[in-house]
Amino acid sequence: MLAAHRRVPVILEPGGDDPVGVGRVLCPLDVHAGLAALAAGPGQPPERIVTVELEQLHPFRLGRPPDRRRDDSEGGVHLAELVPGGAGHSVPKLIGGVLYRLGSVESTQDEAAGLPAGSVVVADHQRSGRGRHGRAWEAPPGSGLFATFVLPPGPLVVFAAGVAAAEACGSQVRLKWPNDLILGDRKLGGVLAEVRGQKALVGVGINLSWAPEGAAMLGQERDALLDRLLPAVEHWAAARPEAIIARWRELSWTLGQEVRVELGSEVVEGIAEDVAPDGALIVAGRRVVAGDVIRVRPSS
């Protein structure tokens, strides 16, 4: 088992010999297997990743262009470090291959794309975060929780992650079909699932200390929220489909309300009656499997 403050040599890009001005911390996909083995040791489980001491880094060819610093000069350090599983977050077995703590990235979805199932990526900032339909998700550095879980694919994975996120946020948070987190009738965050081969990239974004106009923020510390989110995702990712749907119904902000669903050029209006076992929304007796749902007015 690694000592709590042991530094792990990982990657140094050419020209990245000074940490001052480094604008991005990247997930070292090419050395993932080596890091996991180093973390585990004989008979030990993998551990999670944070930062490293610069003087112990060694050059490593990534086969990708060098990053750029904030002053637009080439270079930059690609960093990672391992912390014992008993220190900080406890990463559950199902999602606990390795947890990557990154700085500023394009998106956690992109960083997680090359990682195996069981990995978790958390970033301080996303320069090109995205939501449903490719919409931009932007927030200042350090102002929210931006994470991607690499999970086994399943038809209800976005519902499972939504339930987990709502429970982790607290009892006042509700779920808007299919994947938005709602606090006080305002959007708090959302869940995005992208299936790629034999894995699902499940992104979770939650406003913590900042929110765009008209949205909500939770006002909690990121690490405290992450401590609750990790076991919640562990639980619901392994839950039976009927249990996921039942809990989603209990947390729903949509069901029982009059809604308008925009389906391209078509609009469906009526009461949101139920969620089907496969996650489809039932509006006025009609199945809706995609579209933007707008609540027309709160129920009395």
Q: How many structural domains is the chain composed of? A: 3
The model's pLDDT over 90-106, given as tens digits with 9 standing for 90+, comes to 445 555 457 777 888 88
| Averaged confidence pLDDT in the chain | 74
Interval 109-117 mean pLDDT:
87
Span 25-58, pLDDT tens digits: 333 333 444 444 444 444 443 333 333 333 333 3
Identify which has the larger pLDDT, 96 or 165: 165
- CA distance linking residue 42 with residue 17, whole number of Å: 33
Q: For residue 127, what is the domain's CATH number? A: 3.30.930.10
The last residue of one of the domains, among 62, 84, 106, is 84
Same domain for 100 and 207, yes or no, is: yes
- Which domain does 36 fall in, by range? 1-84
User: Residue 283's beta-bridge partner residues?
Assistant: 272, 286
| Whether pLDDT at 264 is above 90 | no
Task: Please say if the pLDDT value at position 71 is more than 50.
Answer: no
Nearest to 81 by CA among 10, 1, 17, 3: 10
pLDDT in the model for residue 298: 55
Q: Rounded distance, CA 27 to CA 53, Å? A: 16
**Domain match, 97 and 246 both:** yes
Per-residue tokens: 90: 């406890």
